[in-house]
Structure 1
Amino acid sequence: MSLPRQSISPLRQRMLEDMTLRKLSDKTQSAYVRAVRGFAGYLRRPPDTASAEDLRRYQLHLVETGVSPMSVNAAITGLKFFFEVTVERADALAKMSPVRVPHRLPVVLSREEVARLIECAGNDKYRAALSVAYGAGLRTSEVVGLKIGDIDSQRMVLRVDQGKGHRDRFAMLSPVLLQTLRVWWRTAHAQGKLLDGGWLFPGMNRVNPLTPRQLNRAIHAAAQAAGIDKRVSMHTLRHSFATHLLEQKVDIRVIQVLLGHKKLETTALYAQVATEILRQVISPLEGLPPG
């Protein structure tokens, strides 16, 4: 992670070095620095001088100003790293505690909605990217991180290099998805948009990959064009992939592997939104004798 040298204080430089030593991702490093910077802005003095009461008041400030539970917890996580690792003052966190995040079921599209969404994507590149997210169940970061060499048409798999948790895995590559990717490859190759061995979905400059923000803008535009009024994001396609597989009676442990989930409990959430399965269950009300 690089920042302009003139903007880095010795304290921040130490924190950056601590995060680099632990090989934290750039995204995590940015989040942790943002958390400490936000606290320093509230405190109006160097953050390493804060007391446990200062940190308690800051958490109260976040809650009272309407910051979401997930954002509050993200701030606590960043401050926890700073105080425990960088300044070695774990005692300062004594009065901070994570906020309970409300449990919400994921938004899932029907198969017809997924088909309309992909069809309404702006061009071949976005149609292919959305097809990968749904057809292989990949996260947005995993979609944009794909390279041409990650497509293994012999074994019919996609190689996911360093997905979430810094883990490599293989994702499924169906014949329909392979055909979609070939259509995109032919179009992009003819237009000189792809580098040999480069990104499968390059950005405006083919040296760089498409960004998650660009892909999210594309799916929001596609959802609007398709007339879908649900809260749609790229992760919605991953949720839909898992739910539809479960409705097809694919073993949940297989789905866990395909999604790259560490815990089966995470995958089991989809049993709550697999409506095809729910409709097959016979209510005990149906078995009551006539009354």
Structure 2
Amino acid sequence: MIGIKFSPDRLIQSLIKGLPNPKWSKQHNMAYILNTKDNLGIIFITFKGVVWINYNRFLTNKPINTNNDEVDVEWFRKRKTVPDYRLCPEDYLLKLELKKYANSTVRTYVGFFEMFINHYKEKELNTINESDIRAFLQKLIHRKVSNSYLNQAINAIKFYYEVVLGMPNRFYEIERPRKESKLPIVISKEEILSIINNTNNIKHKCIVELLYGSGLRRSELLNLKLNDVDSKRMLLRVESSKGNKDRQTLLSKTSLSHLRLYFAEYRPQVYLFEGRNGKKYSGASVLKIVKIAAEKAKIRVRVTPHVLRHSFATHLLESGTDLRQIQVLLGHGSSKTTEIYTHVATNTFESIKNPLD
């Protein structure tokens, strides 16, 4: 059953009578109705704008991610800020810490939420309503920010009211921008080889080869450890990738031979690619390596690590690899995500005769 406990109030009592078959429990001193998904929705609609409803107990809790790097929120607490700058509430930081969000997510959420609360510096957080949030989002739209930027702002705000304060669906009807459908940027195999040949050293060469030859995301490449390379089975183990999922992907013979040369020269200790201090290599460095090599190779489009991943998937599809196998190699949760490559693969169009010809 769904128990409804409240302070005496005629309006609430009247609204409860309009719920499906409400009853009164003398034992628990509260009203109650049958616990169904539809009834939870009816309660939300009935009391929206009238009272706060806490029905977290009826919602499935997501498991805490235990595989992320140690969450670092201490620097947010100790940083120096300008006078009159409104800081992120301590309970917001604590919830991010307890849920073990990725450090990149923590920085994003704190940044956006502080931007939001400093926009309403004179208002108490619990007095901010949906109209205020829409006005803030409208300001961002007028700045012509991207849809991704806008969605991140919404997520950071929702996190405070819905996760920190436990007010489910607080901004249920806040409009999100329509999802963009952009085709991935893909370059040819010849251009890939030209980029690899224009890298500065064996370390940079291995980085580019793995991004393309194994279809890795930049973060996945940075998290690779020495024992993730399986030279006997010619596979690469990718742990705790996007969505906290493990997978295995291809390891090319070319990459393996170059990795052995790289290891003999650089002697990494823990991570496959390490910086000067022995810690994980930086994402900015990887981006710079790809960018400089692409410029030397005179590639006309802007090449990023993700362009290499897109090219890996598209070239596999063009060579006849099954879409389901590509989905597994990329670590996509849905086949719909992988299907985007059918829109750019050349073999999709080869069988179609051009009407001009």
- Does the pair score TM above 0.5? yes
Q: Which of 175, 184, 190 matches 2:262?
A: 184
**Deviation, structure 1 residue 264:** 0.3
Q: Is 1:200 equivalent to 2:272 in the alignment?
A: yes
Contact 2:185/2:310 (8 A) holds in 1: yes
Moved more, 132-141 or 79-88: 79-88
Q: Which of 89, 92, 104 matches 1:15?
A: 92
Q: 1:26 to 1:111 in 2, by over 3 A?
A: same
Q: 1:88 to 1:11 in 2, by over 3 A?
A: farther
Counterpart amino acid of residue 339 in structure 2: A
Task: Tell me how far apart the structure 2 counterparts of residues 264 and 144 of structure 1 sit (CA, whole Å).
Answer: 26
Size of the aligned set, in residue pairs, is 279
Query: Match of 1:125?
Result: 203
**Deviation, structure 1 residue 280:** 2.1
Moved more, 223-232 or 82-91: 82-91
Contact 1:132/1:177 (8 A) holds in 2: yes
Task: Tell me how far apart the structure 2 counterparts of residues 36 and 159 of structure 1 sit (CA, whole Å).
Answer: 36
Q: Is 1:281 equivalent to 2:351 in the alignment?
A: yes
Contact 1:118/1:222 (8 A) holds in 2: yes
Instruction: Report SS of the residue matched to 1:93.
Output: coil
**Deviation, structure 1 residue 178:** 0.9
Instruction: Report SS of the residue matched to 2:248.
Output: strand
**Deviation, structure 1 residue 256:** 0.3
CA RMSD in angstroms comes to 2.1
Moved more, 76-85 or 235-244: 76-85
Q: Larger Cα Rg: Structure 1 or Structure 2?
A: 2
Task: Tell me how far apart the structure 2 counterparts of residues 57 and 64 of structure 1 sit (CA, whole Å).
Answer: 11
Query: Match of 1:264?
Result: 335
Question: Which 5+ residue runs of structure 2 have no aligned equivalent?
Answer: 1-71, 81-85
Query: Match of 1:244?
Result: 315
Counterpart amino acid of residue 338 in structure 2: T
**Deviation, structure 1 residue 230:** 0.3
Task: Tell me how far apart the structure 1 counterparts of residues 172 and 321 of structure 2 sit (CA, whole Å).
Answer: 46
Deviations 1:234-263 (A, max 9, x none): 000000000000000000000000000000
Counterpart amino acid of residue 39 in structure 1: F
Contact 2:73/2:97 (8 A) holds in 1: no
Task: Tell me how far apart the structure 2 counterparts of residues 111 and 91 of structure 1 sit (CA, whole Å).
Answer: 47
Q: Is 1:232 equivalent to 2:309 in the alignment?
A: no
Task: Tell me how far apart the structure 2 counterparts of residues 161 and 94 of structure 1 sit (CA, whole Å).
Answer: 34
Contact 2:158/2:170 (8 A) holds in 1: no
Contact 2:228/2:236 (8 A) holds in 1: yes
Deviations 1:30-76 (A, max 9, x none): 21111201101212245444222110100100001111111001110
Deviations 1:198-226 (A, max 9, x none): 111111212x1111111101111111111
Q: Which of 101, 107, 126 matches 1:30?
A: 107
Counterpart amino acid of residue 253 in structure 2: P
Task: Tell me how far apart the structure 1 counterparts of residues 337 and 102 of structure 2 sit (CA, whole Å).
Answer: 22
**Deviation, structure 1 residue 101:** 3.5
Q: 1:200 to 1:221 in 2, by over 3 A?
A: same
Counterpart amino acid of residue 203 in structure 1: G
Question: Which 5+ residue runs of structure 1 have no aligned equivalent?
Answer: none
Contact 1:133/1:139 (8 A) holds in 2: yes
Instruction: Report SS of the residue matched to 2:94.
Output: helix
TM normalised by structure 1 equals 0.89
Task: Tell me how far apart the structure 2 counterparts of residues 88 and 63 of structure 1 sit (CA, whole Å).
Answer: 28
Deviations 1:8-42 (A, max 9, x none): 99963211222233332122122111120110121
Structure ranking higher in helix proportion: 1
Moved over 3 A (4+): 4-11, 45-49, 88-92, 284-287
* Identical-residue share of aligned pairs (%): 34
